[in-house]
């Protein structure tokens, strides 16, 4: 028979000793103490049983004895891989290869060099006419690249593409005001090469950008094509010249203006590179890079803001001298 859940222990010789501990029931000189064994594994609150059950996770501890035996026996890599696969563990690879993306290139093909003074000199002047003649000498490769693009995109035109490009540019500039919210749409408008360059530092800043109007109509100034890995895998890059009026304001994490102004309109000359994976049927034109000429003046740096520390004033030495002389006297 199973032992009863409650056992009674009594003893007349130890009654006086047990009386000091105030047992449950005492009858004269004989003390009867009842010890009841209860199941204490249950939670004191019967509610939320299902939630507590979900918090419990079973997992198997590794068998260190077998692992030490395996090291001593020096099992082969195939046997060790099979064993780890059977146990549901991932075997560490002996080599590390960085993942690559072939949806875009990692540079600008034969980067376009804007003529010095572009946007300021006129065609009537000597420098303007000279720059215009030099552009005609560089259009041979661009024409060949346009023919290559038309083999994959029949309706492509270097004259109509700038109007499409400026719409992509304006939408992308507005979306980077909130990168976290518009991340998916940004990847459709910006290549993997340009995305980190456009969004760097915006997690701690607030940007406000507005497009006012175009001073000159946008135009195509440079076209190039290249292949990657195979000759059938082709990419096209088109550089578009934008001469527009814009407003830009950047605020720090405290809401203080650090650069530009939302009311100040400035003339901006930009050379934006657009890229497309033309051998991909479902690819689209995306912003790939921006060309910054060397002759453009350097922009003013951002005004850095800090929390002003509380400093206690230091007393002047001249004020302390009369007090010291009076103390000596």
Tell me the C-alpha distance between 223 and 128, whole Å.
22
pLDDT in tens, 289-301: 999 888 777 777 7
Q: What is the model's pLDDT at position 13?
A: 46
Q: Which of 11-20, 40-49, 56-65, 184-193 is least confident?
A: 11-20
Q: Looking at residues 103-130, what average pLDDT do you find?
A: 74
Q: What is the model's pLDDT at position 81?
A: 83
| Longest CA pairwise span in the chain (Å) | 128
Given a cut of 50, whether residue 1 has pLDDT beyond it is no
Q: Looking at residues 57-73, what average pLDDT do you find?
A: 73
Which of residues 48 and 94 earns the better pLDDT score?
48
The upper half-sphere exposure of residue 311, i.e. CA atoms within 13 Å in the direction of its Cβ, equals 6
Q: How far is CA 92 from the centre of its chain?
A: 27
For 209-241, the DSSP string reads EEEEEEEEEEEEEEEEEEEESEEEEEEEEEEEE
Q: Would you place residue 328 in the very low, low, confident or very high pLDDT band (cuts 50, 70, 90)?
A: low
Given a cut of 80, whether residue 88 has pLDDT beyond it is no
Q: What is the model's pLDDT at position 253?
A: 83
Average pLDDT, the chain: 79
Counting residues of the chain whose pLDDT is more than 90, the rounded percentage is: 33
Which of residues 119 and 178 earns the better pLDDT score?
178
Which of residues 201 and 71 earns the better pLDDT score?
201
Rg of the chain over Cα atoms, rounded to whole angstroms, equals: 39
Q: What is the model's pLDDT at position 53?
A: 82
pLDDT in tens, 123-178: 556 655 565 555 655 677 888 899 999 999 989 998 999 999 999 999 999 999 99
Q: Give the domains, in start order, of the chain with CATH numbers.
A: 6-36 (no CATH), 126-291 (3.10.450.240)
Q: What is the model's pLDDT at position 46?
A: 84
């Amino acid at each position: 028979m199973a032992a009863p859940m409650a056992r009674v222990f009594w003893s007349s010789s130890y009654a006086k000793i047990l009386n000091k501990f105030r047992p449950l029931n005492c009858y004269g000189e004989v003390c009867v103490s009842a010890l009841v064994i209860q199941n204490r594994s249950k939670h004191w609150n019967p509610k939320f049983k299902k939630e507590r059950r979900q918090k419990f996770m079973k997992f198997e501890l590794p068998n260190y004895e077998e692992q030490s035996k395996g090291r001593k026996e020096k099992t082969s890599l195939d046997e060790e891989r099979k064993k780890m696969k059977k146990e549901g563990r991932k075997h560490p690879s002996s080599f590390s290869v960085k993942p690559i993306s072939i949806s875009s290139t990692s540079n600008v093909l034969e980067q376009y060099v804007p003529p010095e003074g572009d946007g300021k000199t006129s065609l009537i002047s000597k420098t303007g006419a000279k720059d215009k003649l030099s552009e005609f000498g560089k259009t041979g490769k661009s024409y060949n690249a346009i023919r290559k693009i038309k083999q994959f995109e029949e309706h492509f035109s270097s004259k109509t593409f700038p109007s499409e490009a400026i719409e992509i540019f304006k939408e992308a500039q507005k979306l980077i005001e909130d990168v976290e919210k518009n991340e998916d749409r940004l990847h459709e408008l910006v290549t993997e090469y340009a995305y980190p360059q456009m969004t760097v530092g915006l997690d701690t800043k607030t940007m406000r950008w507005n497009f006012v109007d175009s001073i000159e109509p946008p135009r195509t100034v440079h076209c190039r094509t290249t292949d990657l890995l195979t000759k059938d895998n082709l990419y096209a890059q088109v550089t578009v010249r934008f001469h527009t009026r814009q407003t830009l304001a950047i605020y720090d994490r405290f809401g203080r203006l650090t650069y530009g102004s939302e009311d100040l309109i400035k003339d901006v000359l930009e050379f934006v590179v657009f890229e497309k994976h033309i051998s991909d049927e479902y690819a689209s034109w995306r912003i790939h890079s921006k060309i910054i000429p060397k002759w453009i003046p350097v922009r003013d740096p951002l005004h850095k803001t800090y929390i002003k520390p509380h400093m206690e004033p230091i007393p002047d030495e001249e004020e302390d001298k009369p007090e010291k002389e009076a103390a000596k006297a």
